[in-house]
Amino acid sequence: MIGLASPRDTPSSLSPLAMRTLGVTSIIVGLGSVLLHATLTLWGQFFDVVGMYLVGSFFLVRALARWRNIPDGPATSFYIALCGVLITLLIMVPEVRRWLFAVLLIAAIIVEMVFARPLRPRVRIAYYLGGIVATAVAFGFWILDQQRILCAPESLLQGHAVWHVLGAISLWLTFCYYRSERLLAG
């Protein structure tokens, strides 16, 4: 994602700053996950959830910026403020972390699909829908893992591992969706 952030022959409406932000955010998600799984500590969990909040916040702010034509500067300020609020809530009320992430993603999807996407007819919606499907299937595997249905320590196939792989696929598909939107001529 970061490597694709330079201008191309057919420029994307996703600015290089936004591409880099999503790329860095994706790396933070991976590092947070590593910290959680390598340490199995509360701090590891904190950084894992922070990464998820950064991604969800990006999706919501990107949808709002596309819908309301908000330039990168104010959108970045809103992104930082939203992340600050979510991290503060994570510290103060950690038990709502999963619900808050779900609400964040659902809000981002609704704003994107109902308000932002109709204003951008040339974007390749199949990427976004693929990302949503990947996330939904990943969530199904996550639930099966949480219920100990697909959680066998001796097995190579783990429900939680599928959650991570599909989450990465969903991130990539969503990036491709954003990148597929071309600047309008004139």
Total number of domains constituting the chain:
2
CA dist., res. 19 & res. 6, Å (int): 9
Residue 4 lies in a domain: no
Total number of residues shown for the chain: 186
Q: Can you give the pTM of this predicted structure? A: 0.90
- 2: tokens are 């970061």
**Residues 24, 175: contact at Cβ < 8 Å?**
no
Q: What is the pLDDT of residue 80?
A: 97
Same structural domain, 110 and 161: no
Residue 7 lies in a domain: no
Q: What is the pLDDT of residue 124?
A: 93
Same structural domain, 105 and 177: no
Residue 2 lies in a domain: no
Residues of the domain holding 39? 13-120
Of 120, 141, 169, the last residue of a domain is: 120
Same structural domain, 93 and 177: no
Same structural domain, 146 and 182: yes
CA dist., res. 3 & res. 11, Å (int): 15
- Give me the tens of pLDDT residue by residue for the chain, a chain 186 residues long: 888 876 655 567 788 889 899 999 999 999 999 999 999 999 999 999 999 999 999 999 999 999 999 999 999 999 999 999 999 999 999 999 989 999 999 999 999 999 999 988 888 999 999 999 999 999 998 888 878 777 776 777 777 888 899 999 999 999 999 989 876 544
Q: What is the pLDDT of residue 11?
A: 67
Same structural domain, 97 and 40: yes
Of 95, 120, 145, the last residue of a domain is: 120
Same structural domain, 22 and 98: yes
Same structural domain, 164 and 136: yes
Same structural domain, 113 and 27: yes
CA dist., res. 58 & res. 112, Å (int): 12
Same structural domain, 75 and 129: no
Q: What is the pLDDT of residue 92?
A: 97
Same structural domain, 111 and 139: no
